[in-house]
């Protein structure tokens, strides 16, 4: 079975540009979460989506947005890129969002974004 897949694997952008990152969850998983991992730090929660709706949002500016499609895949969009947005962007999927109980998340390999 395929795990969580993300595309592209690497991306180079310049300041002010826009970027779209993509994630396909494990088959049967309906919830997708996005994380930002700056080099040398732990992942930081950005968004969680379930059944195409945003269920949770971390402390990130409005330049960050996401959506989930009917097939449960997801896109993360970042506008007006800053140098500080350079990071590994991780997608994780789970069967449910874990409301009231823990539901294991499976992480993809991430997309390495470099902003010049």
Partner 1 sequence: GESVGLHLPTLSVQEGDNSIINCAYSNSASDYFIWYKQESGKGPQFIIDIRSNMDKRQGQRVTVLLNKTVKHLSLQIAATQPGDSAVYFCAEILSGGYQKVTFGIGTKLQVIP
| Binding residue (CB under 8 A) for partner 1 from 8, 80, 103, 116 | 103
Q: Which is nearer to partner 1, 40 or 84 (CB)?
A: 40
Name which position in 4, 46, 66, 81 contacts partner 1 (CB under 8 A). 4
Length of the chain: 116
Asked if 45 and 63 count as a contact pair (C-beta separation under 8 A), the reply is no
* Of residues 62 and 104, the one with the C-beta less far from partner 1: 104
Q: How far apart (Å, rounded) are the C-alpha atoms in residues 68 and 51?
A: 7
Q: Give the Cα separation of 44 and 36 in Å (integer).
A: 5
Q: Pick between residue 33 and residue 74 the one whose CB is nearest to partner 1.
A: 33
Taking CA atoms, 71 is separated from 20, 24, 26, 57, 102, in Å, by 18, 9, 11, 21, 23
Build a one-symbol-per-residue string for 34-73: x at contacts with partner 1 by CB under 8 A, - elsewhere: -x-x-xxxxxxx--x-x----xx-x---------------
Please enumerate in sequence order all residues whose Cβ is within 8 A of that of 61, keeping only pairs 6 or more positions apart, or say none: none
What letter would DSSP give residue 11?
A: E
Nearer to partner 1, 19 or 49 (CB): 49
List of residues contacting partner 1 (CB under 8 A): 4, 31, 33, 35, 37, 39-45, 48, 50, 55-56, 58, 88, 90, 92, 94, 97-110, 112
């Amino acid at each position: 079975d395929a795990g969580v897949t993300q595309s592209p694997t690497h991306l180079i952008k310049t300041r002010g540009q826009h970027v779209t990152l993509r994630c396909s969850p494990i088959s049967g998983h309906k919830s997708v979460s996005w994380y930002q991992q700056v080099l040398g730090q732990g992942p930081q929660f950005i968004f969680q989506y379930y059944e195409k709706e945003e269920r949770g949002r971390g402390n990130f500016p409005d330049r960050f947005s996401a959506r989930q499609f009917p097939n449960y895949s997801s896109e993360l969009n970042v506008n007006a890129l800053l140098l500080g947005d350079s990071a590994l962007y991780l997608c994780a999927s789970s069967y449910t969002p874990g409301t009231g109980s823990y539901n294991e998340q499976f992480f993809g390999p991430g997309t390495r974004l470099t902003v010049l």
